[in-house]
Amino acid sequence: MERIQKLISRAGAASRREAERMILAGRVTLNGVAVTELGVQADAADEIAIDGVAININQAKRYFLLNKPKGYLSTVKDDRGRKTVVDLLPEVTEYIYPIGRLDYDTEGLLLLTNDGDLMNGLLHPRYEINKIYLAKVYGKVQPDQLKVLRSGVNLEDGLTAPAAVRLMDYNEQADWSKVKITIHEGRNRQVRRMFAAVGHEVMALKRIGFAGLTLTGVPRGNYRELTVDEVAKLKEIAGKPGKQYE
């Protein structure tokens, strides 16, 4: 037996958070009876429906790697009708959602899946998943600033964890620096805020690596399905599938 919100997310019908909201809004039924509390449990033999439509708990899992361009929201739907990353995978019929977020103006590697267990595992801070970014910033980043970025930056939500940071390029004429930075936290606008805190506004930001995966062979705006081996490796990194991370 498992909580209904977990079964819904496993079925790929919504993320676990969205499922909780749906339950509280009275949109979910268990064997025809409305469920409005979050603690109710069920199993694969039960019929769970959202807005009267039964979900398929054993739906096949799909895993995609997207090279997100700027100008797309990392959500499934936007109330204001803006483009979302899901619009970039029009052939995919399953209800997939992004694993984590890239800002509207950030480009690069984003995974999408309907596997709620893997998503929750990869997002849990305990697993310290590496995220590698290339940041182009105004001005010349000085060695002492690189040191601060490496050892921890004091942001309003606390000190950042140690990061790997390397100055890749400095363009003297245009006065910008390119810096490769690897972090494993996933705070809101973290890289932009880290650079701002040491006095360098980010001009452009691209995620080039996530959990050992790269953008190789995937041009901007395109995507590919992960291989069986890649999925197996992600599951290994994210702990045992099916484990609770609450």
Residue 221 or residue 242: which is nearer to ligand URA going by CB? 221
Residue 73 or residue 118: which is nearer to ligand URA going by CB? 73
Chain-centre distance of CA 8, in angstroms?
A: 19
Tell the smallest beta-carbon distance from residue 97 to ligand URA (Å).
16
Residue numbers 173-202 binding ligand URA by CB under 6 A: 189-192
Residue 166 or residue 243: which is nearer to ligand URA going by CB? 166
103 is catalytic: yes
Pairing of strands 158-159, 131-138: unpaired
Tell the smallest beta-carbon distance from residue 136 to ligand URA (Å).
13
Tell the smallest beta-carbon distance from residue 189 to ligand URA (Å).
4
Interaction of residue 5 with ligand URA, rule CB under 6 A: no
- With 0-12 CB in 10 A as exposed, 13-18 as middle and 19+ as buried, what is 70? middle
Interaction of residue 102 with ligand URA, rule CB under 6 A: yes
- With 0-12 CB in 10 A as exposed, 13-18 as middle and 19+ as buried, what is 11? buried
Number of residues that bind ligand URA (CB under 6 A): 8
Closest CA to 112 of 63, 150, 172, 77: 63
Chosen residue from 103, 123, 148, 196 binding ligand URA by CB under 6 A: 103
Chosen residue from 15, 106, 120, 160 binding ligand URA by CB under 6 A: 106
Catalytic residue from among 78, 103, 144, 169: 103
Tell the smallest beta-carbon distance from residue 213 to ligand URA (Å).
16
* Strand, helix or coil for residue 98: strand
* Strand, helix or coil for residue 93: coil
Residue 142: CB atoms within 10 A of its CB come to 14
Interaction of residue 153 with ligand URA, rule CB under 6 A: no
Instruction: List residues bridging with 210 in a β-sheet.
Output: 131, 213
Closest CA to 211 of 137, 113, 145, 136: 113
Q: What does the binding site for ligand URA look like in residue numbers (CB under 6 A)?
A: 102-103, 106, 189-192, 205
Active-site residues: which are they? 103
